[in-house]
Structures are given as C-alpha cells and as structure tokens.
Structure 1
Amino acid sequence: MTAEPLERFLNSPEQLRTPFPLPAPPASPGTGDLVLRTARETDLPELRRLDQEVFHEVAYPGFLLRQLYDMYAGHFLVLDDGRGRLRGYVLAGTTALDRDSWILGLCVTRDRRRHGLGRELMTEILGLLRRAGTERVRLTVEPANHAAILLYRSLGFRFEEPEGGLRRDYFGPGMHRHIMRLELAGGA
C-alpha cells in the first residue's frame, strides 16, 4: 500500500466512477485487490451489513443509509474487494453551499485495519471536498478511539473548543464524543 494520497493520481471526481485498484494488505495474502470507488445504489445492502459489523449498536438504520446515499452519493466512497464484499467506506455530508461538511462515517473492516486504508479513504474524500470549495470539515470521534484520533490529527484535524472538543452525551447518555475540525485551505 502506497502512502501517496489518491488525489495525486486523480484529476477529477468523475475518475472515481472508474475502479481504482488498491493493493491488498500484506497480512491478507490471496485476497485480491481493493477498489476505491463511489458507492452505488446496489451497494446499499452490503453497506448496511458493513455498518452493522463495524459500528454495532450505533450503526445507521437501513432507511437512513438509504437517505444518506440519496443526498450525498457523490461523497460516499467504498472499498470493494471485487467479490461482492465492501471492506470500508467514508461518507461526507455537505451543506448546500459546499462550505461546511461533516464526515458522517469512516470504517474499515477489522481484517483490513492498520494498512493505511482509513487514511486513503480520508485523503480522497478531503480532496473531493477541497476541490468542491468546502472550507471546513468536522467529525465526531469516540474519546477512547485513540487510533482514529491519531489518524485525524495526522490529517490536520484539531479538537474544536470548548473543552478540547469533548461533548458529553453527544449521542445520548454516556455516549460522549470529541468534535474535531479541519480548515481546508482555499478550496479548489
């Protein structure tokens, strides 16, 4: 897996519609290449399965994934293993004026973690948002998810004040989250 961001190799978001192969992680021999592409409507059942596998009790309900796809399909990227299984996704929701965006979901299956795939997904979505003129991107992260926090910080995200970004009970009682923010320089 190269550490080079995918946006370096893509000239326009339309190129995502053509599969872009990513090498399989070395820890998964014989599993073939992953393809980073925009989500398709036919991916919805598999996206639901993947979301439940990774997020368990905080997974999106199927109807909401459907509506998120309808609203943000251009900012819904998946990692496809070529055999009908999705291994990761990133989803960004953007305001009508494209100035503000939220990362609404980032996940990679357990067997594909620690190989830079989350970074590749984030790098590509941030490139798409930057080219669209988005000025700032926010996300939430569970305070105990140190690996995700390190990834987001390495990409330039910082905790949004007050209280170092901590929002108690953000998703309900006991479900605290940090809010992190990235200022994108100048858009396209």
Structure 2
Amino acid sequence: MSGERPLRIRAVTEADLPHIVRLDADAFPHGPYPYFVLRQLLAAYADLVYVVDDGTDLYGYVLATSPNDAQSWVLSLAITPGLRGKGLGRQLMTKLLGLLRTKGAHSVRLSVEPRNDSAIALYRSLGFVPDPGGPRADYFGPGEDRLLMTLTL
C-alpha cells in the first residue's frame, strides 16, 4: 500500500478513473459500480469527488451529487480494505460535507448496507440519523436491503 508515502486528499482528475474502478471493486466486491456508471458519475459530479492519494495510487474516494432543492446524496465512500479504520473515510466525508454546505446543501442523504456497523458508526458520528422504520428491504433489488440516513446541515 502507501508505504512511506504521505497520503493526501485531493480533487479527482479524469486520469483517476481506472484507479477508482479498481478501488470500487476492491471495496465492494459483491456489487461494484460498472465502469460506465463511474465514468458518467465522475463526468457529472467531478467537482464533488475527492480521492485519497499517495502520489502513485488511490486508496479511497467519496462521491456526491450536486444539491437539488438543497439536498445532496453521497453515492459512494470507499476506502481500500487495508487502510480502513484509520480515519480516511472521516477525512473524506468531512471535506465533502464542507463543500456541500458551500454549494447550498441543507441536507445530505446516503444509503448503507445495514450490517456495515463500522460505516454506520462513522455516519452517526458525523451527525447522520437513520430514517424511521429501519432498513428498507430490497432497496437495491431483491435481497439488497439498505439503511437510509440523513444529515441536516
């Protein structure tokens, strides 16, 4: 992984796409975004994507939508498995949430796999609140339940 190279958070570039595709597959082996979806999301929301970089490779990314009626969605937060639990997800989310505030977002929504306790704990610590009623069954299709969470900015 990053070895002795310092990690930094920076805005995404088009050259990052192959690395993000690989990172997404590593982080979400049972349901990564297809290449073409990531391609279009990066094109549509390039100003709302941050990456964790050591100068040679990427180790994390976060992607959100532009505010629509003052509401944004975090579409993905991924950290390479070997660097999870080191605060990189928090750093990415904090930077992104600050940007969303400046762009006029008043609330931010996201969905998370209901058994992903570490992600849910991170989101709660940032102020996200689960939607009433608990996880939504089959939100992403049969057997793909998701917990929806909202942060009021």
TM-score, normalization by structure 1? 0.78
Deviation per CA, 1:132-167: give whole Å up to 9, x if none.
110110000111000010100000000112x13x11
Letter in 2 for 1:153: R
Calculate percent identity across the aligned residue pairs. 50
What does 1:33-48 correspond to in 2, within 5 Å? 33-48=6-21
Which of 118, 138, 150 is the aligned partner of 1:147?
A: 118
Letter in 2 for 1:57: H
Letter in 2 for 1:59: P
Letter in 1 for 2:38: L
The residue number in structure 2 matching 1:87 is 59
Letter in 2 for 1:148: A
The residue number in structure 1 matching 2:152 is 183
Q: Against the structure 1 CA distance between its residues 29 and 71, is the aligned structure 2 distance closer, same or farther, given a 3 Å change threshold?
A: closer
8 Å CA contact 2:11, 2:49 repeated in 1:
yes
Q: Which has the larger radius of gyration?
A: 1
Cα shift at 1:110: 1.2
2: distance between equivalents of 1:30 and 1:146? 28
The residue number in structure 2 matching 1:170 is 139
The residue number in structure 2 matching 1:157 is 128
Give the length in aligned residue pairs: 153
Cα shift at 1:65: 0.5
Letter in 1 for 2:144: M
8 Å CA contact 2:10, 2:52 repeated in 1:
yes
What does 1:49-64 correspond to in 2, within 5 Å? 49-64=22-37
Letter in 1 for 2:44: M
Cα shift at 1:74: 0.5
8 Å CA contact 2:2, 2:54 repeated in 1:
no
1:126 counterpart = 2:97: yes
RMSD in angstroms over aligned alpha carbons? 1.4
Q: Against the structure 1 CA distance between its residues 74 and 29, is the aligned structure 2 distance closer, same or farther, given a 3 Å change threshold?
A: closer
Cα shift at 1:100: 0.9
1: distance between equivalents of 2:129 and 2:140? 20
